[in-house]
Each structure stands twice: as C-alpha cells, then as structure tokens.
Structure 1
Amino acid sequence: MSEIIFHHYPISPFSEKIRLIFGMKKINWTSVMIPPIMPKPDVVALTGGYRRTPILQIGADVYCDTALIADVLDKLVPTPSLYPPAIAGLARTLAQWADTTLFWTAIAYTFQPAAMSSILGNISPEQMQAFAADRAAMRAGAPRISLSEATVQLHEYLRRLSNMLGHGQAYLLGADASIADFSVYHALWFIRRVAAVNSILDSYPAVLKWMDQVAAFGHHHAEKMSSGDALDIARNAVASDVGTTEFVDTHGIALGEQVSVMPADYAFDPVIGELVLATHNQIAVRRQDERAGTVVVHFPRLGFQMKRVG
C-alpha cells in the first residue's frame, strides 16, 4: 500500500472522524500537522486553494472532504467495511445528516462564550480575533443557529440517537460500526472534549456508552512528517491513472477542459485545473504547482459544485 499521508490538526472534529477510521481498519498512516487557520501555504500548494481540514494525500493524489476520504480508505482496506451492504444507503444518508445538520448544531452550541478558552486554549486576544476572522471568512455570511436554538435542537437529536441505541445494539445501525457511527461521533466528540459545555450529554447514558465504544477504536499507528516532506513526495510521485474510469457528464463539460471546483456550502475557495475524472460520486482535476509539482485533486460530487473556466 502506498504511504497514506493525513493533513490535520488535533482539535479538528472531521479529522477525528478519519483518525478513528484508521483505528477501526488498523491502517498505518503518516501525520502532517497543519495550521487551524489561514495562511496554509503548504496545504494550498497541494490543493490549489481548498482550505478545509482534513485532506488525505497518497503520492500525487490529494483527496478532499471526509466523505470521499472514507470511501478511499474503504477501498484500500475493505474489511471491516464502513458500508455493510444491508445498511449502506442508510449509513451514508445518516452520515450526510451528521456531517452537515448535526455538525453545525454542535458547533453553534459548543462555541458559546463560556467555552471559548477551553476550545482554543490560552491564546491572546489578537489570536482570538484572527481565529474569529478566519471562520467568518469561511462561512461567507451564512447565518448561524443561535445558542438557544442549538441547545433545544441538540437535545432532540440526542433523544433520537438514544432511541436508536436503546434496543441492545452496539452501534447506531446494528452490531457493526459503519460510516454513520464515525460521522455522528465526531460532532459529539467536539462537545464532549469541552468541560464547560459537555454536561448536556450526561442525560443520555446510551449515547455516552456508544461514544466510548467508538473511541475505543483509537487511531492505530501514525508516523510524523513535515508538510515540506509531504510536498516533496507529491512532486516526485505520479498520480494514479484515471483514464479508464467511466465518464459521467452532468455539466456538458468534456474531460480535458479547465474547470473550477469548490464547496457548495462554505469555504468557497475554488480549485482550478484540468478535468480528468467525473464519475457518479467523484470529480478530479489535474493541476500544476511550483512546489508540489503535478497533482490530481479529488472531490466528492455531493456538497461540491463545478463550473467551466472561461
């Protein structure tokens, strides 16, 4: 197996989702720490502009968004599967809800005044301002849920999750863990790690027991690497061959054309390159960078938008 390089930072909830999948599948991985806020010059050299955390790198292939990263890891190590056949569609649908609705509810609840120092540590007022400005730029004016609304919604979601776990099963959808468990877990992990706000979970013992089971997967084994070394690996590697993959045209854009790809919900940082892959669930562009060389950047179809350049 080619070296799996994971670009992340410790308190990133979506990174925790993938770190636990490494644990579940017992995948050895290489850890590259990246800044939590911009500027992220080494990340941008790899992605061409995409700045959300985490990203996965295998040679000169760069994978964005944890939904796609999970798919890639499941193909590399099929057993145990994140998508058990009997519940695959349900697991993916629950994961998508968790990665969007539940995540933003958890963020709105956790980032309350009483919790800020616990989340970010002992940082200066200037650093606090920089963090706030960075996240405001990512959201690009999108409305946030108020604390009162986030609190009542979170309680309702926790009641529903408790109901799913209240029939003697180990995981949300049955006896085996699936992508749904890791996606729901990471949003609640972010709450649980903040002492100032985590008492909301105490009323849901079934959820806490399930969280302990998911956490027990751990992160398996990671070696450390600098971001500069990761760029060297990309520059000296050749991206995977995608030439024989089925082409799914939904935009009237041909392979080889220049396109712009960006998230559809927040962090609207476009990545421009040559379209080299378009399947029912993935888009990829080839781009050149002075430091990273020729890289192919991959995105999931869901949650992203593509446009022709020029």
Structure 2
Amino acid sequence: MAVEHPIILHHFPQSPFSEKIRLVFGLKKIAWTSVEIARIMPRPDLMPMTGGYRRTPVMQIGADIYCDTQCIMRELERRFPEPTLFPQACRGLASASAMWTDKAFFQSTVNLVFGALADKVPQEFIADREKLRGAKFDVAAMASAIPQMRDLFRANVQWIEAQLADGRRWMCGDEISLCDINAYMNIWYVRSSLPMILDQVLAEFPATKGWETRMRGIGHGTSTEMSTAAALEIGTRATPTTAELADINDPNGRKPGDQVQVMPDDYGKIGVRGEIVALSSQHIAIRRHDPIAGEMVVHFPRVGFLVLPV
C-alpha cells in the first residue's frame, strides 16, 4: 500500500515567496507541515534533498522535491484542483503574471524594504545574499534609491488598482486566481516591513486597499511543525513517485534518461545535476542520488530556469 507523505514546506516566516504558498494552503484549505529553515546558509538538512538549490521556499512530498513557487503551485493545483488557481478567464495570464510580480515588481519592493531598513540588516545576512546573487548586496545604494523605488512601487500598485477599478473583487473577475496571489506577495512584504509606507500608497488606491484586506483574510490553512532533521529522515526513507514522462515536442530533443543540470537564470545559479525523469513545456523533473538523502526526484519549472547538458 502506498505511503501517504505529508506536504512539507521548507520556508521562513519573513519570506515573501513563501507567503504565496502559505496563501494557497489557506485558499485550498490544505493541511500542511511547516519546516522552518534558517534565513541564511548553511541548511545542512535541506541541501542533500535539493542538490544544492537554495532559494526559498521548497516543497517536499516524500522523496519528491519541488523548487520555485511556479512548480510548487502547479503541483498543489494538480493534487487539490478546487478552488482553482487558474480560472478559465485567465488560465495563461495567471502563470505569466509571475514574470511581472516576481521580477520587476519584486525588485522595486525588495530595494524599498532593504533601503528603508539598511542600518538594521545584519552583516551575515548581507554576506549570504551576496553569495546567492553573485553580486554586491549594497544596502547603502538601496537607501539612496528609496525615492526611485517608492515611485516604482507606486506605479506597480496602480496597475493592480486599474485592474480592480470596475468594481471586481479579484484581478481576473469574480474568481480569485494566481494573479492575485502573485501580486499580493509584494503588498504583503511592504505591509510586513514598512506598514506606514504602504498605508500612504494605498490611501490613493481604495480598490487595492479593499483587495488587500480580502487577501489577508484567506489565511494559511492548517499547519503542524516539524524539524529539518525529521523532514530529511522522511525523504531518506521514501521513494520518489514521479512517473516517467516524455515530451515529443521538446525543441532540443531532450528525453528521459538524459543527464542534465538545472539552475535559475538570474541568481542562485547553482546547477542541480541528475537524470531526466519527466519533462514538458512547463516542468522538468530530474533523478539524483545523494550520499545522505539517497534517491530524490527534484522538480523545476522551465520559465526562469536553464536546462544544460552535463
């Protein structure tokens, strides 16, 4: 009989990308297991399972490891289809919205937050993020750029306001979608860090202010706590359940069995190596063997990631 493994989210409370997944748990009323990881490296119980991928969050179900919120959300939608994250009216746009919210919008948001809190950022956090980015994490420059970041943040929020201006409750109409969850991440991050600045911005945008209240009311579902060591033990004892899946239309002729490495295309460029198990236009899963964790299948999205031959 198949073993039912818990849905484990490796995250930390301040992570805006993790807040997306916590909201999906709330929306779909999913019972989940919370594993709180350190904000900075090392993460000795998680890295054996991810193969070195270190961005947050990561979802674990047995020995299947899901990296990046795009990938995590699609798997949660597959397992818990109601209520859907992809209403028919914006099925493609819901996924594509992450390329706005997670990149340009988030860049203005994170620079605004760290610029305003520059004198409170620990040196060890700065050093860790410089390793992650492969570039200087210059909080002094962020502080100097606060006027420009406030302009950019306001401009992005105005786009939410424009979408809600006809009185709709959600960005795609009468049904909440991934568009809402993606955009809300940035509002949540400023609310958590700089509430007075957010209140100043939202005073101009009443529809967005009401939308924020509705989003906050979704909650995070029902969670139980677990240690990182216990999660690793579950992974080492489990067997991956991902079925082999070929993509006959793969433009590069990739197929199950090929050895590849997968890495983000912007920052955190650590290649995870393994053998392709399943792939499609939006997803790739690779099998790897770790001396600590054993056999794992690690899942990634295609947009925002590079797939390179080994």
Q: TM-score, normalised by structure 2?
A: 0.91
CA contact (8 A) 2:247 2:255 kept: no
Letter in 1 for 2:164: L
CA distance in 2, matches of 1:72, 1:163: 31
Other-structure match for 1:85: 88
- Secondary structure in 2 matching 1:72: helix
1:51-81: per-residue Cα shift (whole Å, max 9, x none)?
0000000111000000111111011110100
Letter in 2 for 1:301: R
- Secondary structure in 2 matching 1:203: coil
Other-structure match for 2:265: 264
Letter in 2 for 1:134: D
Q: Over aligned residues, Cα RMSD in angstroms? A: 1.9
CA distance in 2, matches of 1:72, 1:271: 20
- Secondary structure in 1 matching 2:203: helix
Other-structure match for 1:165: 164
Other-structure match for 2:42: 39
Other-structure match for 1:108: 111
More off after superposition, 234-243 vs 80-89: 234-243
Other-structure match for 2:8: 5
Other-structure match for 1:151: 150
- Secondary structure in 2 matching 1:251: coil
- Structure 2: gaps (5+ residues): none
1:122-142: per-residue Cα shift (whole Å, max 9, x none)?
xxxxxx111011112222238
CA distance in 2, matches of 1:87, 1:296: 30
More off after superposition, 34-43 vs 51-60: 34-43
CA distance in 1, matches of 2:72, 2:92: 17
Aligned-pair CA distance for 1:245 = 4.8
CA distance in 1, matches of 2:47, 2:118: 30
More off after superposition, 297-306 vs 93-102: 93-102
CA distance in 1, matches of 2:290, 2:197: 43
Other-structure match for 1:185: 184
- Residues 1-310 of structure 1 correspond to what in structure 2 (within 5 A)? 2-114=5-117, 117=120, 128-141=122-135, 146-195=145-194, 197-198=197-198, 199-309=200-310
Letter in 1 for 2:125: F
CA distance in 1, matches of 2:72, 2:216: 19
CA distance in 2, matches of 1:307, 1:250: 13
CA distance in 2, matches of 1:30, 1:131: 26
- Secondary structure in 1 matching 2:14: coil
In structure 2, relative to structure 1, the CA distance for the partners of 1:265 and 1:244 (3 Å cut) is: closer
Identical amino acids, percent of aligned pairs: 39
Aligned-pair CA distance for 1:243 = 1.7
- Secondary structure in 2 matching 1:42: coil
1:22-47: per-residue Cα shift (whole Å, max 9, x none)?
00000000000101111111121110
Letter in 1 for 2:129: R
In structure 2, relative to structure 1, the CA distance for the partners of 1:113 and 1:105 (3 Å cut) is: closer
Aligned-pair CA distance for 1:188 = 1.2
Matched length: 300
CA contact (8 A) 1:23 1:219 kept: yes
CA distance in 2, matches of 1:289, 1:247: 30
CA distance in 2, matches of 1:93, 1:114: 31
CA contact (8 A) 1:287 1:295 kept: yes
CA contact (8 A) 1:162 1:206 kept: yes
Q: TM-score, normalised by structure 1?
A: 0.91
CA distance in 1, matches of 2:117, 2:21: 28
- Secondary structure in 2 matching 1:296: strand
- Structure 1: gaps (5+ residues): 121-127
Aligned-pair CA distance for 1:151 = 1.6
Aligned-pair CA distance for 1:255 = 2.4
More off after superposition, 282-291 vs 197-206: 197-206
More off after superposition, 63-72 vs 289-298: 289-298
CA distance in 2, matches of 1:205, 1:115: 30
- Secondary structure in 1 matching 2:201: helix
CA distance in 2, matches of 1:54, 1:116: 26
Letter in 1 for 2:123: Q
Aligned-pair CA distance for 1:279 = 1.1
In structure 2, relative to structure 1, the CA distance for the partners of 1:30 and 1:247 (3 Å cut) is: farther
- Secondary structure in 1 matching 2:45: helix
Aligned-pair CA distance for 1:248 = 4.6
